[in-house]
């Protein structure tokens, strides 16, 4: 008799649990139908480079199934707007970073051109809303890593003209003007005490042109310096809470509070190593980061920054971009209000974006900053120095002259 009662209770519990889960999922989908889900960081363009060398014509995003992201998954995940990362590795610094970054920007534009029924290129907060009304995925560009501009404000401005709407100040290497997060681990030396003087110029020029400043991947000192000097709110496009997982890619509580004061946003990363500081994680662990950020600084600074296709491990329950509704349902299960959910889905990012655009408009008429980085801070064998007053010759020619002379002498001997 007791065994029969236990069986009945288990069946009733399972039925109730499944019923509640279905109700939460339905509520999540309803919220996502009236508020755009905006994700801060997806590395699908890099997968196009690393897997196919950007031979985009040979691939089909409807059937591609070796990535976290494809068109059916995007539709199932209700992904309304995505900042696609134009990322190139730190190995390109001082070499061909600008070229390779331009090629990644090209991939994103080509993706929108190839699948106009799915993607619409977006370059403003209003573009996101207009695309949402068309039931398409707004496609924005974020350049991941300051090395991609080759210490050039002219390159920064040109990338903005090509549609780039955020720059991640560093990736996992120092630039000639900013220190990256590895400085805080002790594995790389601090070179600039955070930002150099030119680094501060970059921040203010981003304010002037209306480009979002992304502080994922920077050192903690850079986080605070940018928060001090930026005239506009900042973003962390794919970072989580340091108090939950003490990884230097995450955001400390004191910085979370400063982001709140600056009216910025932290878009939570799904990479297991940043979620639990281990190789294993699940959807509940990710929700813990949402809860902690809300507790410390409120729901107004939270967003989604999955980092799909840029990481080797993602949590159980968040295996690909189709799973966003399940995370929303988990937040609802944790008693997040519908208003808080709407904020995290997209209203927070839209607010930040609009304020960045307002700062740009307020600075309309301000001349572009045309003071270049000092030559001594960027001189290297692969960089010419035309225009600098210190010398009229090129660093590359100088460094290669002994080799050229040696080859000439050798040819005379043969």
Q: Which helix (H) or strand (E) holds 46?
A: helix 44-52
Residue 41 is a catalytic residue: yes
Residue 307 is a catalytic residue: yes
Backbone angles phi, psi at 245, to 5 degrees: -135, 115
The token pair at 196 is 């150099």
The token pair at 213 is 């400043």
Residue 171 is a catalytic residue: yes
Task: Kindly list the distances between the CA atom of residue 301 and the CA atoms of 25, 201, 216, 234, 331, in Å, as whole numbers in the listed order.
Answer: 24, 26, 15, 10, 15
Burial class of residue 377, CB neighbours in 10 A (0-12, 13-18, 19+): middle
Q: Cβ–Cβ contacts within 10 Å for residue 23, how many?
A: 13
Select which of 307, 309, 330, 340 is catalytic.
307
Q: Please, are residues 31 and 78 in contact by the beta-carbon 8 Å criterion?
A: no
Residue closest to 369 by CA, chosen among 68, 189, 155, 173: 155
Select which of 238, 247, 289, 292 is catalytic.
238
Select which of 39, 43, 150, 309 is catalytic.
43
Q: b vs e for 37-75, b when ≥16 Cβ sit within 10 Å of the residue's Cβ?
A: bbbbbbbbbbbbbeeeebebeebebeebeebbbbbebbe
Q: Cβ–Cβ contacts within 10 Å for residue 1, how many?
A: 5
Residue 144 is a catalytic residue: yes
Strand 79-87 to 212-214 pairing = unpaired
Residue 217 is a catalytic residue: yes
Residue 289 is a catalytic residue: no
Select which of 39, 127, 144, 320 is catalytic.
144
Select which of 171, 247, 289, 292 is catalytic.
171
> 275 by DSSP, 3-state: which?
helix
The token pair at 303 is 């967003």
Residue closest to 35 by CA, chosen among 357, 355, 351: 351
Select which of 147, 217, 247, 292 is catalytic.
217
Q: Which helix (H) or strand (E) holds 405?
A: helix 395-413
d(CA 275, CA 135): 31
Q: Which residues are catalytic?
A: 41, 43, 144, 171, 217, 238, 307
């Amino acid at each position: 008799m007791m065994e029969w009662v236990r069986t009945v209770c288990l069946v009733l519990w399972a039925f109730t649990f499944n019923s509640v889960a279905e109700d939460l999922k339905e509520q999540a989908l309803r919220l996502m139908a009236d508020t755009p889900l905006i994700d801060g960081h997806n590395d699908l363009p890099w997968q196009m480079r690393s897997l196919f060398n950007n031979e985009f014509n040979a691939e089909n995003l409807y059937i591609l199934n070796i990535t976290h992201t494809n068109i059916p998954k995007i539709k199932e995940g209700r992904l309304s707007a995505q900042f696609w990362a134009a990322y190139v590795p730190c190995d390109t610094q001082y070499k061909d970073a600008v070229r390779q970054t331009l090629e990644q920007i090209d991939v994103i534009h080509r993706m929108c051109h190839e699948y106009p029924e799915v993607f619409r290129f977006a370059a403003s907060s209003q573009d996101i809303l207009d695309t949402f009304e068309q039931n398409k995925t707004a496609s924005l560009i974020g350049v991941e890593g300051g090395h991609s501009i080759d210490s050039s404000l002219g390159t920064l401005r040109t990338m903005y003209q090509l549609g780039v709407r955020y720059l991640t100040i560093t990736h996992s290497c120092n630039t000639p003007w900013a220190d990256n997060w590895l400085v805080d681990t002790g594995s790389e030396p601090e070179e600039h005490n955070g930002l150099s003087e030119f680094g501060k110029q970059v921040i203010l020029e981003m304010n002037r042109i209306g480009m979002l400043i992304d502080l994922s991947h920077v050192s903690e000192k850079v986080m605070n310096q940018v928060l001090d000097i930026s005239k506009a709110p900042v973003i962390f496009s794919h970072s989580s809470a340091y108090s939950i997982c003490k990884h230097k890619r995450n955001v400390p509580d004191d910085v979370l509070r400063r982001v709140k004061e600056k009216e910025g946003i932290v878009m939570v990363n799904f990479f297991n190593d940043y979620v639990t500081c281990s190789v294993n994680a699940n959807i509940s662990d990710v929700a813990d980061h949402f809860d902690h950020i809300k507790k410390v600084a409120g729901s107004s600074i939270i967003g989604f920054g999955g980092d799909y296709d840029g990481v080797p491990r993602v949590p159980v329950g968040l295996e690909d971009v189709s799973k966003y509704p399940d995370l929303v349902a988990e937040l609802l299960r944790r008693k997040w209000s519908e208003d808080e959910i709407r904020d995290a889905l997209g209203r927070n990012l839209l607010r930040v974006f609009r304020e960045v655009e307002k700062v740009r408009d307020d600075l309309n008429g301000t001349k572009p900053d045309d003071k270049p980085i000092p030559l001594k801070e960027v001189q290297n064998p692969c960089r010419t120095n035309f225009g600098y007053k210190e010398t009229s010759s090129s660093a590359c020619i100088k460094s290669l002259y002994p080799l050229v002379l040696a080859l000439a002498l050798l040819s005379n001997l043969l």
